Structure 1
């Protein structure tokens, strides 16, 4: 099964549940404060995230049970987080989903194993590097109830590299990739490497988001003439940087933000901090964009942009410890060339 698959039945069942939270503009800091205070309860959660199931209904009772299970799970997850900058887990917009539902809605990505990196190692890397500091990373977006993380990560890399090469930073169309990448299945799933291969082989020009806006559902491909402006992919590389994360740092500095596949099972409960535990390697299920790293503190970490909106994580970002390919962050990494 391919990329961030969202089954039609799951969408029908949970659309009313998920869609309201996808429209929240609340910052993750505000959310953390409201959700994880000592007095917070299920009624407050329902009000904050506009949950519309009726009190004492079957749906209410089931969601309440999942919410209680989530709170118990947080105690276990946080028991590994003794260090000051360790990841913290708590109540967020996913807290009334069961773990199975969360996986089926957001974590159905898979990928072919990338070859091990065998290139030259970059020397003299800065201790900290963040492409956001150079104003070439677009704001965090929200894929909503659509399995489109594979498209968001690929398009995010392309629009950043386009800006690095001297163009104005502009959002390119995720919907175009979603609708037109025939090797993938739209909101029902996709592979980052298959999307990149499609872009390379067809030389399709990605148009602006304003010309082909995101609908959070798969549509009919809208074709543009070859004379129409846009951004085309010339090439891409994909490597396994396991055991070679310093080389991955070099690739990020040299090439721009990187497309990565990760195990994001524990991210259902992530609030912020540096993830060091609760993730597997070589079991990828979600696609993200690596935009930087920081090795200046006690725990070196990757800076990773997600596509679940700014109310999730650290304003839509997640930090992952460098070393041991935590969450599989180094197992399948792609760089794009325009």
Structure 2
């Protein structure tokens, strides 16, 4: 067996192989604890990988390291547990409260073979400085950090100042003094929650004050998200064949004229309509040469399968467009953000579609299809997006499960920032959210289920 296959077998990564912890070790490949000095080299490499692409204020320093090594042939696999100390956060929109500086407990696996190093696994979370061999205990110590805590007693004046700035920035007014105090308490809890989400993110994303910071989590979900997506009970679509050519290194349809301006769904769970019209806009541009801003309101009013502001499914929306006979432009059928009587006119329809297709869940094939065929309608778990400001988000999988899809968006491109692969995703919450209305999410790990419900209209 080749050295790489032997090492993969030891790690339990070959098809049918058992997970590494429970797999019996082959003779000559026993694991033992080497001298601490030997662990520094793979530990420093793991630290370098952890810090890659992170802003100066979010880089960490290596603390204590312990671990074991398995050797086989010309390779060694180091299973490490290390503490990392992150520098104090310096972004005033994120770091007004405690938890700005944190100690992380990380589990790494580093492969060394023929003078090269590869990071096989990284799992970090903010915990106390005690290193433990029990990974379940580590996970259990990370997840409770998202629970709401009582607010500290010594920052009420500072919080009042931050909240006042929020109200000015987002032109917020409240009817009574009691409402103002209630919203400030929600705001304070949300700011603490944003810092905890920040601490658990493995990308370069920054979380903090956004225009949604005075909403409870339940309010935010009810108003802006789409619970019907996780049911995935829409019209069935044919799966399209993936392109045979590999994806280019990067691609962005915004630079090629296929994407309209960022829109705003308002206080309406109509993300499904915006995701679909964005896709159809791109398909029409690529096949007919004209970029038209199309009507989401037509779908809210005339799609009798979906539930307008209460949510919907892209697959149903494609079927509605085909049944109606097309889409009017936004100029002819403007967005109101609530259901009206359907006033679609076939004579005014400027765009039609012939069909719709389901796309591959393989992200490399998804990127190749996007580069060849245009922007893609997708649906994701919106964990953390209430407080997202900028950067590449990469939440822990248990916190952003692909099984809890609740928001539809539009993939418009992909690339790398500081060697971190990302998807560029057009949102429908206006340009005063995220990076001028866009969300950047880690690419290649199935983050937040971004690859679980990809689809497109077909324009012949």
Normalised by the shorter chain, which TM-score bucket? 0.7 to 0.9
Aligned partners of 2:316 and 2:280: how far apart in 1? 15
Q: Which runs of 5+ in 1 are unaligned?
A: 1-32
Select 2:354's aligned residue among 198, 222, 234. Answer: 234
Larger Rg, first or second structure (1 or 2): 2
1:96 is the counterpart of 2:214? yes
Provide the rounded CA distance (Å) in 1 between the counterparts of 2:380 and 2:209: 22
Query: Cα–Cα, structure 1 residues 44 and 190, in superposed 2: closer, same or farther, change >3 Å?
Result: same
What CA deviation, in whole Å up to 9, does each residue of 1:243-280 have, x standing for no partner?
Answer: x1101111212221100011103100100111111422
Q: Which residue of 2 aligns with 1:28?
A: none
Alignment of 1:77 onto 2:197: yes
Alignment coverage as a number of residue pairs: 299
In the other structure, the counterpart of 2:435 is: 314
Q: Once the two structures are superposed, what CA deviation does each residue of 1:125-170 show, in whole Å capped at 9, x if it has no partner?
A: 2101010110110010000011111111101111111111243212
Alignment partner, residue 194 of structure 1: 316
Q: Distance in 2 between matches of 1:100 and 1:314?
A: 24
Matched, 1:281 2:399: no
Native 8 Å contact 2:250 2:416 kept in 1: yes
Q: Give, in whole Å, the separation in 2 of the partners of 1:116 and 1:75.
A: 42
User: In structure 2, which of residues 341, 345, 354 is the aligned counterpart of residue 220 of structure 1?
Assistant: 341
Tell me if structure 2 keeps the 8 A contact 1:152–1:174: yes
CA contact (8 A) 1:130 1:293 kept: yes
Structure 2: unaligned runs, 5 residues or longer: 1-90, 97-157
Question: What do the CA deviations read for 1:37-70 (whole angstroms, capped 9, x no partner)?
Answer: 857511121222222225631x222211111111
Q: Which residue of 1 aligns with 2:419?
A: 298
**Deviation by residue 1:143-198 (Cα, 9 ceiling, x = unmatched):** 00111111111011111111112432121111111111111122222111111122
Q: Which residue of 2 aligns with 1:61?
A: 181
Cα RMSD over matched residues? Answer: 2.3
Higher strand share: 2
Partner of 1:327: 448
Question: 1:197 and 1:307 mapped to 2: Cα distance?
Answer: 22
Query: Which range is displaced more, 47-56 or 151-160?
Result: 47-56
When normalised by structure 1's length, the TM-score is: 0.82
1:1-338 map, 5 Å = 41-54=162-175, 56-57=177-178, 59-81=179-201, 86-111=204-229, 112=232, 119-200=241-322, 202-225=323-346, 227-239=347-359, 241=361, 244-277=362-395, 278-295=399-416, 297-338=418-459
Deviation string 1:5-28 (CA, Å, 9 cap, x unpaired) is xxxxxxxxxxxxxxxxxxxxxxxx
Residue in 2 aligned with 1:4? none
CA contact (8 A) 2:226 2:271 kept: no
TM-score by length of 2: 0.61
